């Protein structure tokens, strides 16, 4: 629970503050500072940052003004990330194809598989009494789910994690070197999936790749380039965002034993707890947009081609829109957070992500009800995508309870 009181109105925002790792670990005070400065503020690298809930919702709901196309963010790939980097009206055909595949009914059907995966990952930890949460559970779980859905071999897991990190956390000492690293990784990803698609054309299976090849939208089938764009987005979303979310959830609960005990004592609150922790932690703090036509938002004129960061994390804790926004209430109802975005580009995999998060919280707290940060652990959070370098946890073994 955060008892912070409103601070004085900020007159200027230091662009470097958006990259401050100390801020990333506890972003809510910074969010309040930028909101107090206005609905839209100057950001890093000449961008604008949309920070209040009302302005954030406007930006998300108007893709004709705030475009999500490839110009918004370049990750080194040669194909758009579908459907994220395709705006309406073309965007609609992809959602018509993909939404039914990722609908709640379809995702709920794989809950037994996810439950089994979670418990298989927990099994060796119980008697050990400690874990490095990221590598022991947060990375392998969503990645294994992703590989299973696409019908790809689990033995490729380490390769996929390397590819994902090569895009989201590229190597290099400067921007040019990092972009070169991203391009090389992107080429590897596209080549891998081109080979996988070619294999499915010869030997279809019961997996998403085969469904993409067979699917039709308005009488037309997806091209190979379109399938590559879908798969490229899946590797980033499927292998990273749930990992980051699990890290943030468990770091919070390990440091707030009262909240952890509420989940242990009453598992029925887990669905609501997932929503509240998504609101409070918001691992994908900001989404990128590019201005498609001149507009004034929050009193700030912006012009075609300007780059914009839409700060979902700030919007989720905006006291102007959410009662008791600085209180973490694990039973909050209603909870209209924006952690999965909004508008036409709302996260395609939100139902799958929720299922993975709920299942992990349920099974973990059933088997490991008491845990905390390892003594001396200092958490280092990333910015943008709010991930944790290492999350060491300790807990009593069954014999010690």
The predicted-structure confidence for 29-88, as pLDDT tens digits, reads as follows: 999 999 999 999 999 988 999 999 999 999 999 999 999 998 888 888 888 889 999 999
* DSSP 8-state code for residue 4: P
Residue 338 half-sphere exposure toward CB, CA atoms < 13 A: 30
Q: What is the pLDDT of residue 19?
A: 87
In sequence order, the 6+-apart residues with CB closer than 8 A to the CB of 379 are 25, 251, 373, 388, 389, 390, 391
Please report, for residues 36, 44, 290, 300, the alpha-carbon distance to residue 295 in angstroms, rounded to integers and kept in the order given. Answer: 22, 20, 12, 8
Q: What is the pLDDT of residue 8?
A: 34
Residue 41 φ/ψ, nearest 5 degrees: -130, 160
Residue 285 φ/ψ, nearest 5 degrees: -70, -30
CATH number of domain containing 39: 1.10.630.10
Q: Which domain, by its residues, includes 19?
A: 15-400
Residue 229 resides in a domain: yes
Report the Cα 388 to chain-centroid distance in Å: 13
Residue 276 resides in a domain: yes
117-141 pLDDT, tens digit each: 999 999 999 999 999 999 999 999 9
Closest Cα partner for 243 from 25, 26, 389, 366?
Answer: 389
Closest Cα partner for 388 from 18, 65, 138?
Answer: 138
Q: Which positions of the chain have pLDDT values less than 70?
A: 1-11, 401
Residue 168 in tokens: 């989201």
pTM score: 0.92
Q: What is the pLDDT of residue 10?
A: 33
Q: What is the pLDDT of residue 320?
A: 96
Long-range interactions of 329-334: CB distance < 8 A, separation 24+: 329/276, 330/259, 330/262, 330/263, 330/269, 330/272, 330/273, 330/276, 330/277, 331/269, 331/272, 331/273, 331/276, 332/272, 332/275, 332/276, 332/279, 333/272
Locate tokens 């949309």: which residue?
Answer: 50
Residue 40 in tokens: 């839209």
Residue 348 in tokens: 């395609």
Q: What is the pLDDT of residue 56?
A: 98
Residues in the chain: 401
Residue 261 half-sphere exposure toward CB, CA atoms < 13 A: 3
Bond before 189 cis per omega within 30 degrees: no
Q: What is the pLDDT of residue 273?
A: 98
Instruction: Give CA–CA dist 330/263, Å, rounded.
Output: 9
Residue 153 in tokens: 């071999």
Residue 7 resides in a domain: no
Residue 4 resides in a domain: no
Residue 152 resides in a domain: yes
What interhelical angle do 270-281 and 257-265 show, nearest 10?
150
Residue 87 resides in a domain: yes
What interhelical angle do 224-236 and 157-168 show, nearest 10?
90
Residue 9 resides in a domain: no
Q: What is the pLDDT of residue 16?
A: 85
Q: What is the domain count for the chain?
A: 1
CB 198: neighbour CB atoms within 10 A?
A: 10
Residue 71 resides in a domain: yes
């Amino acid at each position: 629970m955060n008892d912070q009181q409103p601070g004085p109105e900020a007159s200027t925002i230091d662009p470097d503050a958006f990259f401050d790792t100390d801020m990333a670990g506890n972003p809510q005070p910074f969010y309040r500072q930028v909101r107090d400065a206005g609905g839209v503020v100057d950001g890093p690298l000449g961008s604008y940052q949309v920070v209040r809930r009302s302005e954030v919702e406007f930006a998300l709901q108007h893709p004709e003004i705030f475009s999500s196309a490839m110009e918004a963010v370049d990750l080194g790939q040669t194909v758009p990330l579908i459907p994220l980097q395709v705006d309406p009206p073309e965007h609609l055909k992809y959602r018509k194809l993909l939404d039914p595949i990722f609908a709640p009914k379809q995702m709920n059907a794989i809950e037994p598989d996810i439950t089994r995966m979670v418990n298989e990952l927990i099994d060796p930890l119980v008697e050990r009494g400690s874990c490095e949460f990221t590598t022991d559970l947060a990375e392998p779980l969503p990645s294994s789910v992703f590989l299973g859905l696409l019908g790809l071999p689990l033995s490729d897991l380490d390769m996929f994690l390397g590819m994902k990190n090569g895009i989201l956390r590229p190597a290099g000492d400067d921007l040019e070197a990092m972009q070169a690293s991203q391009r090389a990784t992107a080429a590897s990803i596209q080549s891998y999936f081109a080979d996988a698609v070619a294999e499915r054309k010869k030997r279809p299976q019961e997996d998403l790749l085969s469904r993409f090849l067979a699917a039709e939208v308005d009488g037309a089938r997806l091209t190979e380039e379109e399938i590559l764009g879908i798969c490229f987005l899946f590797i980033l979303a499927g292998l990273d965002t749930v990992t980051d979310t699990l890290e943030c959830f468990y770091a919070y609960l390990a440091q707030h034993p009262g909240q952890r005990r509420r989940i242990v004592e009453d598992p029925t609150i887990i669905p609501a707890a997932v929503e509240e922790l998504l609101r409070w932690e918001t691992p994908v703090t900001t989404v990128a947009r590019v201005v498609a036509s001149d507009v004034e938002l929050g009193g700030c004129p912006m012009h075609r081609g300007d780059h914009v960061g839409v700060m979902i994390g700030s919007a989720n804790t905006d006291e102007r829109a959410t009662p008791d926004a600085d209180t973490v209430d694990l039973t909050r109802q209603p909870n209209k957070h924006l952690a999965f975005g909004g508008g036409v580009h709302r996260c395609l995999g939100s139902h799958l992500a929720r299922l993975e998060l709920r299942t992990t919280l349920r099974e973990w707290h059933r088997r490991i009800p008491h845990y905390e940060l390892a003594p001396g652990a200092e958490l280092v959070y990333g910015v943008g995508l709010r991930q944790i370098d290492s999350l060491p946890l300790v807990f009593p073994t069954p014999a010690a309870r």
